[in-house]
């Protein structure tokens, strides 16, 4: 057992860190302020081969492993949570189409998604159902030659800018999870429209919003996972997503700690810098220890996934610990900044807001605990 990265992983980390420092970090505050989806940066991610990076080369990817992807996620999040999360979305959606799609669906969608020319979203959450995926109300009714979708989705990342959506819908509400199927719906399809953009606390720049399906007719070839399979496929994608979310939290916490160290070194009080006070030193020491613990959990889950092992518990543990860790670290890092931490003038204010959602999306902390406990107690 060793903890070194491979040469490829190290080189990827260096490349992504250099890109993030030069092209992402200087834009992060502006993305937060304007709340505009940075389409140009998204295309740059595609040019760098980062959007479909885990796809096989014949589908426009680099065949990278989950560990390398987790490293990329951490480095991007260190610069901007929104940019990191747009990359996570691309990875999950290309993965979902590659794993579940027909050859025609793969050929049609994967190259343009991997290049960043198109954006695909996952439309699962509804006004009345988030954690309880089996309780969704959006219906898919079979017609002779396809399906008709009806329902509303909320809090969908990139809803306002997407070209394609994987829509989670029920074909039979009485069957719960067994009635759920996945469908590919292209923007411009009659009956599909976007509702309001969500006015949210953090992760600005992700164009999060509502999607509405009103008698939206789609062909039979739009089916991505059939009833009975859809729920399982969505859950597998969540496991992978949780590893990425954990990695993003490590990157965000790392950024918060670096901001706190820089501030503590230059700010003086009572005749010395803040860095000279043991109370501040201990906060920094605790941050570093917690970040390293989360990083190990994330990398363990990524490594297990790369070995083809089941990671439901390990991914949930990584996401749970990393998201709660990142909230503690950003809180302490803001504290070290005093009043300036509460001002939009300093980066820590954005990190503090951005980090909060990681305890909610991709399964709230309570759901992660349920997943973990269920596997230990069954
Ligand atoms: C910025 C943002 C972006 C998002 N992007 C997407 C996206 O792209 N696609 C998508 O489909 N969804 C997306 N979501 C939705 C997100 O996945 C859900 O918010 C999340 O799953 C929680 O669902 P909910 O908000 O309906 O909360 P609820 O399910 O109503 O839960 C509310 C509270 O009750 C707790 N709770 C619920 N059930 C239990 C239980 N059984 N035991 C104990 N506690 C429980 C929860 O943990 C939570 O604390 C996004 C959300 C946000 C905020």
pLDDT at 68: 97
Contacts of 130 (CB under 8 A, 6+ apart): 155, 364
Q: Is 345 a catalytic residue?
A: no
Pairing assessment for the beta strands 223-225 and 180-186 based on DSSP bridges? antiparallel
pLDDT at 276: 98
Structure token digits, residue 141: 């009714």
pLDDT at 60: 84
Q: Is the pTM of this model over 0.85?
A: yes
Contacts of 270 (CB under 8 A, 6+ apart): none
Among 73, 94, 118, the domain boundary falls at: 118
CA of 234 to the centre of ligand 1 (A): 15
d(CA 8, CA 2): 16
CA of 329 to the centre of ligand 1 (A): 23
d(CA 89, CA 361): 12
pLDDT at 186: 97
Q: Which of 35, 130, 359, 366 to mutate to test the pocket of ligand 1 (most atoms within 8 A of CB)?
A: 130
Same domain, 260 and 342: yes
Pairing assessment for the beta strands 268-269 and 272-273 based on DSSP bridges? antiparallel
| 2 in a structural domain | no
Provide the CATH number for the domain around residue 348: 1.20.140.10
d(CA 219, CA 203): 35
Among 95, 118, 141, the domain boundary falls at: 118
Same domain, 250 and 334: yes
Same domain, 354 and 252: yes
Same domain, 175 and 282: no
Same domain, 194 and 137: yes
Residue whose CA is at the smallest distance from ligand 1 atom 43: 366
Report the nearest atom of ligand 1 relative to the CA of 198: 1
Same domain, 247 and 356: yes
Among 191, 226, 261, the domain boundary falls at: 226
Contacts of 51 (CB under 8 A, 6+ apart): 42, 45, 87, 90, 91, 94, 113, 114, 115, 116
Q: Average pLDDT per run of 10 along the chain, which is 378 residues long?
A: 91 98 98 98 97 91 95 98 98 96 96 96 97 95 96 98 98 94 97 98 98 98 94 90 98 98 98 98 98 98 96 97 98 98 98 98 97 95
φ and ψ at residue 341, rounded to 5 degrees: -70, -25
Same domain, 82 and 128: no
Instruction: Find the catalytic residue in 74, 126, 248, 362.
Output: 362
Task: Identify whether the C-beta of residue 144 lies closer than 8 Å to the C-beta of residue 93.
Answer: no
| Domains contained in the chain, number | 3
Same domain, 297 and 218: no
Domain that holds residue 266: 231-377
d(CA 355, CA 351): 6
| 70 in a structural domain | yes
| 320 in a structural domain | yes
d(CA 25, CA 274): 26
d(CA 170, CA 177): 8
d(CA 348, CA 358): 16
């Amino acid at each position: 057992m060793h903890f070194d990265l491979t040469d490829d992983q190290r080189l990827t980390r260096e490349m992504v860190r250099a890109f993030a420092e030069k092209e992402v970090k200087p834009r992060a505050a502006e993305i937060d302020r304007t709340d505009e989806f940075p389409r140009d940066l998204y295309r740059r991610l595609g040019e760098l081969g980062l959007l479909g990076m885990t796809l096989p080369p014949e589908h426009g990817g680099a065949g990278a492993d989950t560990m390398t992807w987790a490293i990329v996620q951490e480095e991007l999040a260190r610069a901007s949570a929104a940019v990191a999360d747009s990359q996570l979305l691309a990875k999950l959606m290309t993965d979902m189409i590659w794993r579940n799609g027909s050859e025609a669906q793969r050929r049609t969608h994967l190259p343009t998604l991997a290049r960043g020319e198109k954006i695909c979203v996952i439309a699962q959450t509804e006004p009345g159902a988030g954690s309880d995926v089996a309780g969704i109300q959006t219906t898919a009714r079979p017609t002779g030659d396809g399906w008709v979708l009806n329902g509303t989705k909320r809090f969908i990342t990139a809803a306002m800018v997407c070209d394609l959506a994987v829509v989670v819908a029920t074909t039979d509400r009485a069957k719960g999870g067994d009635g759920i199927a996945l469908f590919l719906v292209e923007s411009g399809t009659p009956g599909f429209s976007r509702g309001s953009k969500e006015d949210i606390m953090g992760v600005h720049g992700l164009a999060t919003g509502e999607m509405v399906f009103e008698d939206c007719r789609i062909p039979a070839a739009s089916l991505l996972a059939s009833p009975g399979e859809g729920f399982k496929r969505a859950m597998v994608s969540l496991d992978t997503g949780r590893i990425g979310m954990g990695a993003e939290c490590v990157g965000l916490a790392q950024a918060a700690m670096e901001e706190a160290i820089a501030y503590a070194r230059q700010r003086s009080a009572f005749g010395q810098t803040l860095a000279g006070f043991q109370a501040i030193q201990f906060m920094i020491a605790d941050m570093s220890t917690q970040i390293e613990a989360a990083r190990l959990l994330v990398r363990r889950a990524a490594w297990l996934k790369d070995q083809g092992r089941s990671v439901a518990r390990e991914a949930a543990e990584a996401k749970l610990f990393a998201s709660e860790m990142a909230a503690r670290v950003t809180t302490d890092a803001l504290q070290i900044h005093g009043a300036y931490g509460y001002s939009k003038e300093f980066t820590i204010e954005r990190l503090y807001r951005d980090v909060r959602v990681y305890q909610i999306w991709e399964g709230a902390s309570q759901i992660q605990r349920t997943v973990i406990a269920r596997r230990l107690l069954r």
